C-alpha cells in the first residue's frame, strides 16, 4: 500500500510551472479468433490504454462501473507500470502465518499500490475507497482530486525496500485505538520506504503543486487483510496506519527497538 495513505502529515508547496516483427505471424482469422476468446473471458481484454468508460464495451462498463470510475485502465495496467514483487518478507508471526502466505500478502500490497498510482494519475477519487479504508485517504489528496487534478505518485512512495509481518497483539490494538483507528486486523506489516519522497499534483490549466510525503527513510505500519477482488486481483486492504515516529507509541518490536 502506498506510503501516502499511511503517513498522517503532508506539506503542499506550490511550484512555478503552470515493433519488432515476430517469427510467426497469425492470419487475420486466427487473430480475430484470439481476440474473441480473450473478450469472452475478460470483456476489457482489448482495452490497451486508459479509456473513457462510455467508450468501452457494455461488458467492460458493467465490470468497472461498480468502482465509481469514469475511465477504464488497460487490461495489463499493472504490468505496464512494472509493479515490482515485494521484498522478501521477514515473518515474525511465530508460525501463525506461513512464509508463503506472508509473501503473498506483501505482493498484494504492491498490487494495491499499483492501482493507487493509476487511480490518482487519472483523477479516479472514488476508486480509492476500494483500495484502503477512509481513514487512509489523505484529505489534501481528496481535495486535489475533487478539483480535477491528477497526482503522480513516485515509486519511492509506493513500493517499500523491506517488509516485516507481525501479529497484531493486544499492544498493537491498543496503539491503533489511541490513534482512533480500526483495531480489528489480525496482522500488520512494518515496511520501510526510502526518502526524501514527494508527489506532483497537476491541476486543470497547468498549475502544479508538490505534496511532500517524507524527507528521509521511514518505517510505516500497515495493518490490513488480503482481499481477492474480482477485478483488481489480490490486494492488501489497509484500514489503519501509522509510523514508528508516532507519539502514540507503537509496539517497540515493530520498530526494531
What cell numbers appear for 130 in the block? 476500494
Return the C-alpha cell found at 23.
Answer: 517469427
Residue 209 lies in a domain: yes
pLDDT band at 63 (very low <50, low <70, confident <90, very high): very high
Confirm whether 106 is domain-assigned: yes
Q: Which domain holds residue 7?
A: 3-18+85-255
Residue 173 lies in a domain: yes
pLDDT over threshold 80, residue 38: no
**Percent with pLDDT over 90 in the chain:** 82
CA 69/CA 125 separation, integer angstroms: 8
64 inside domain? no
Region for 220 from its dihedrals, namely left if φ exceeds 0, alpha if ψ lies in -120 to 50, beta otherwise:
beta
Domain-embedded: residue 193: yes
* Contacts of 189 by beta carbon, 8 Å cutoff, 6+ apart: 89, 105, 106, 109, 163, 164, 165, 166, 221, 222, 223, 224, 236
Domain count, the chain: 1
Q: Return the closest-CA partner of residue 233 out of 126, 136, 104, 125.
A: 104
Residue 185 lies in a domain: yes
pLDDT tens-digit map of 92-132:
999 999 999 999 999 999 999 999 999 999 999 999 999 99
35 within domain boundaries = no
Assigned domain for 40 exists: no
pTM confidence score: 0.87
pLDDT per residue as tens digits for the range 231-241: 999 999 999 99
Amino acid at each position: 500500500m502506498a506510503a501516502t495513505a499511511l503517513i498522517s502529515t503532508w506539506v503542499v508547496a506550490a511550484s512555478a510551472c503552470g515493433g519488432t516483427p515476430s517469427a510467426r505471424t497469425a492470419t487475420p482469422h486466427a487473430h480475430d479468433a484470439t481476440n474473441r476468446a480473450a473478450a469472452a473471458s475478460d470483456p476489457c481484454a482489448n482495452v490497451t490504454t486508459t479509456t473513457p468508460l462510455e467508450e468501452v464495451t457494455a461488458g467492460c462498463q458493467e465490470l468497472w462501473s461498480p468502482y465509481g470510475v469514469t475511465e477504464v485502465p488497460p487490461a495489463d495496467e499493472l504490468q505496464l507500470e512494472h509493479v515490482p514483487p515485494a521484498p522478501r518478507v521477514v515473518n515474525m508471526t511465530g508460525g501463525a502465518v506461513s512464509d508463503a502466505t506472508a509473501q503473498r500478502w506483501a505482493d498484494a500490497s504492491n498490487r494495491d499500490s499499483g492501482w493507487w498510482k493509476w487511480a490518482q494519475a487519472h483523477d479516479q477519487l472514488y476508486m480509492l475507497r476500494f483500495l484502503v479504508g477512509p481513514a487512509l485517504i489523505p484529505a489534501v489528496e481528496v481535495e486535489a482530486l475533487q478539483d480535477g487534478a491528477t497526482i503522480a505518485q513516485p515509486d519511492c512512495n509506493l513500493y517499500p525496500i523491506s517488509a516485516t509481518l507481525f501479529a497484531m497483539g493486544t499492544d498493537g490494538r491498543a496503539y491503533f485505538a489511541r490513534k482512533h483507528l480500526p483495531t480489528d486486523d489480525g496482522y500488520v506489516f512494518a515496511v520501510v520506504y526510502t526518502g526524501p519522497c514527494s508527489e506532483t499534483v497537476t491541476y486543470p490549466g497547468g498549475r502544479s503543486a508538490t505534496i511532500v510525503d517524507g524527507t528521509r527513510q521511514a518505517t510505516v505500519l500497515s495493518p490490513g487483510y488480503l482481499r481477492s477482488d474480482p477485478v483488481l486481483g489480490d490486494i492488501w486492504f489497509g484500514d489503519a496506519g501509522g509510523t514508528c515516529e508516532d507519539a502514540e507509541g507503537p509496539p517497540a518490536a515493530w520498530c526494531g527497538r
